[in-house]
Structure 1
């Protein structure tokens, strides 16, 4: 078969013509090739990069074709196939590399890219040529590979209340104490940090959310949680509140489910919490267990919770206040600003952001709150009282 662009004979069909560099892959559909022909098998194994002796063994073992080394070399020479002659034009190689860089090929180094060009495109290339072309076409990626730097995804947020990240902290659950937290993605302000008997009761999580919305007088544009069943009621309430708006994330799209490992803002913050607060309580309760003052039974969990719940809650409130007023240093991998969370949340214009929160009617908020079932860990009267106090404080 001949190339329709330069009229040169094609000994075997590849993606590009080895003489003019034009893409001729479409010719494969015009010719019915015998996949078991010795020549095609030789060309196939040669393109895969096997040595002469390995090609001979593959032909004999897999296809029952016996060839001498001299015959093999003669067939490759007649086909114009050589590892060190008849190199593919540089312009053709550059076009193929540019095409590969549009997809997953952007992660390949020059050795892997060289192998891809030889196997996928049947090119005859030099490693040095591929290395220089990669430096020319994608210098940032080459620099990162040279520095052996792991490239992380960057977190981006337009402003406070664009995304609230919510999750539970279970490190103290063996001792009868469960913690639930929420953090704003832009400012890293802790919206709530609550401790109780359970953080897997949907009513508890929904109550925390409604109290926070009432306190701040607005709802976030989006919520991000894991796939736990405790988040279902809160997600339904949030989507209902957001159905009053007309932006692109209104209604059901305002809530995002995802893996805990992808909920990076709150998961990252839990590590800070453990270092500065959580580890103290874990060590304290573990010492009580080693001294046989706590055995993990439901009765002991209730007793420990009765003795320490108020103290832990006070400690969490203190840490929440300290965190919201501390200074966050700049991070190269993040496009979010640095500063104090409280300032970034309340005056986002000083940090190149804008408040993305949306207002909701007090009537809708009250109606939805009345639909929340009474939590198993909190009395209905106490919950209603706290909510209505926050309603008045938020001006709803």
Structure 2
């Protein structure tokens, strides 16, 4: 971890930087146990943590004030917010991070899926992941120097956008599965809000064809938000049937024109462009890296598509990939979407457009749902497909080999690849 003001290495978790003296306690507030935090009073500490969180995500001062009032019932004036930010040493236009430190971080990101980033996505990653204070133009120039070939290729792309209209968040949720990694045994399921383009869930697993698994993702998301959308949009796959039935049952209690069975829409995958268009961003910025990684294993004759190899890929890579999906979901939901003439939806950060739509001339179209209703319907769902006995035995065998060889649990794709190759050789696959 580096100090975002002077780039000095932090060997512990101090409240103030030993080199420049700036207050950096907000970097650790999210992970520090409550009893170990300064005794400023629970309310003040909580508000300071929320302010630091939303500031680090890049929201404007006015939106942060709205977030505090709307989501947390905390009334705070704009001048008080600025004073608290100044006291915490949080700034966007002072104490810029040294370019050498920024260049080192970009180099590290370019080793993995960050090589698919444009300079805007890289700039957002540097701010959120590393807490750097850096100019976007500086990031653009650094990437042009460090990765000129990919920068030139991205500059030649041409996008054709469809016109999309929505009056507010939770009007339509678009649900779809992503099958580009299925040849390697990994399936992905995602859901996006049509108005704000906020990712509602993004999960990977053994299958995205099990109706119970898809329904559980929907119910879990509804329980976390306490709201269900006005309409749900899916393709005609059988995996969406149970989720559609649950949604229509929950919506049958309302009296609007889309209540009951009208609240769900079936259609072709190509017409479900709310999420189909987002998959293109996902591929450019994340999944293409994994497709190339697994494809390279296949080209090196380390993966042949057999059942045993697929089970080993899941064992080594599934948790690492889910961690990256969670990270990408967070980054996407707090990045800025630029305005385009072909869209009737607003521009801004998805998280802000979803939670404070009145700032973007929108209104919340969702319907509140109770935890009791979620629990009642969830208890009636059939059990999800579990690992078959053969795969359970293989997973136990791979776990035993990993323990015997002293291989650590992989935390990134490099360690997962190393574990895969070693376990493959040990298991004589």
Q: TM-score range by the shorter chain?
A: 0.5 to 0.7
Map of 1:317 onto structure 2: 326
What is the aligned partner in structure 1 of residue 171 from structure 2? 162
Displaced runs of 4+ in structure 1, greater than 3 A? none
Confirm whether residue 296 of structure 1 aligns to residue 305 of structure 2. yes
User: Following the alignment from structure 2 to structure 1, what is the Cα–Cα distance between the partners of residues 352 and 372?
Assistant: 30
Query: Is the Cα contact below 8 Å between 2:231 and 2:263 reproduced in 1?
Result: yes
Higher alpha-carbon Rg: 1
> Distance in 1 between the 2:383 and 2:183 partners?
24
Instruction: Report SS of the residue matched to 1:369.
Output: helix
Structure 1 residue 187 corresponds to structure 2 residue 216: no
| Counterpart check, 1:198 vs 2:207 | yes
* CA positional deviation for 1:349: 0.2
Please give the alpha-carbon distance, in whole angstroms, between the structure 2 residues aligned to 1:294 and 1:320.
29
* Alpha-carbon distance, 1:306 to partner: 0.4
2:251 is equivalent to residue 242 of structure 1: yes
What is residue 270 of structure 1 aligned with on the other side? 279
Query: How far did 1:154 drift?
Result: 2.3
Matched, 1:222 2:231: yes
Residue 347 in structure 1 maps to residue 356 in structure 2 = yes
Distance 2:305 2:387 in 1: 22
TM-score using structure 1 length: 0.57
Whether 1:231 aligns to 2:240 is yes
What is the CA RMSD across the aligned residues, in angstroms?
Answer: 1.7
* Structure 1 unmatched runs, 5+: 1-150, 380-396
CA distance in 2, matches of 1:377, 1:256: 29
Mapping 1:128-167, distance limit 5 Å:
154-167=163-176
1:370 to 364, 371, 379: 379
Query: SS of 1:194's equivalent?
Result: strand
Report deviation, 1:371. 1.3
Q: Secondary structure at the match of 1:166?
A: strand
Distance 1:152 1:194 in 2: 26
Contact 2:186 2:204 in 1 (8 A): yes
2:272 is aligned with 1:258? no
Output one character per residue of 1:225-280: Cα deviation in whole Å (capped at 9) or x when no partner.
00000000000000000011111100000000011111011000000000000000
Which whole-Å CA distance do the structure 2 matches of 1:369 and 1:273 have between them?
30
Q: Deviations over 1:64-108 (max 9, x none)?
A: xxxxxxxxxxxxxxxxxxxxxxxxxxxxxxxxxxxxxxxxxxxxx
Task: From the superposition, tell whether residues 225 and 189 of structure 1 become closer, same or farther in structure 2 (CA, over 3 Å).
Answer: same
Instruction: Tell me which of 171, 187, 203 is aligned to 1:178.
Output: 187
- Give the Cα separation in 2 of the matches to 1:222 and 1:191: 14
| Match 1:329 to one of 307, 324, 338 | 338
Aligned to 1:208: 217
Secondary structure, counterpart of 1:182 in structure 2: strand
Structure 1 residue 152, shift from structure 2 partner: 7.4
Distance 2:381 2:215 in 1: 7
**2:221 match: secondary structure:** helix
- Report the CA distance between 1:370 and its aligned residue: 0.7
Q: Name the SS for the 2:242 alignment partner.
A: helix
Map 1:25-44 → 2, pairs under 5 A: none
Indicate how the Cα distance of structure 1 residues 342 and 378 shifts in structure 2: closer, same or farther if over 3 A, else same: farther
Offset, 1:375: 1.0
1:153 to partner: Cα distance: 5.6
CA distance in 2, matches of 1:218, 1:345: 12
Counterpart-to-counterpart distance in 1, 2:279 and 2:344 = 21
Task: Give the Cα–Cα distance (whole angstroms) in 1 for the partners of residues 202 and 376 of structure 2.
Answer: 25
- Residue by residue, what CA displacement relative to the aligned partner does 1:18-76 show, whole Å, maximum 9, x if unpaired? xxxxxxxxxxxxxxxxxxxxxxxxxxxxxxxxxxxxxxxxxxxxxxxxxxxxxxxxxxx
- Relative distance call for 1:366 and 1:333 in structure 2 (3 A) is same
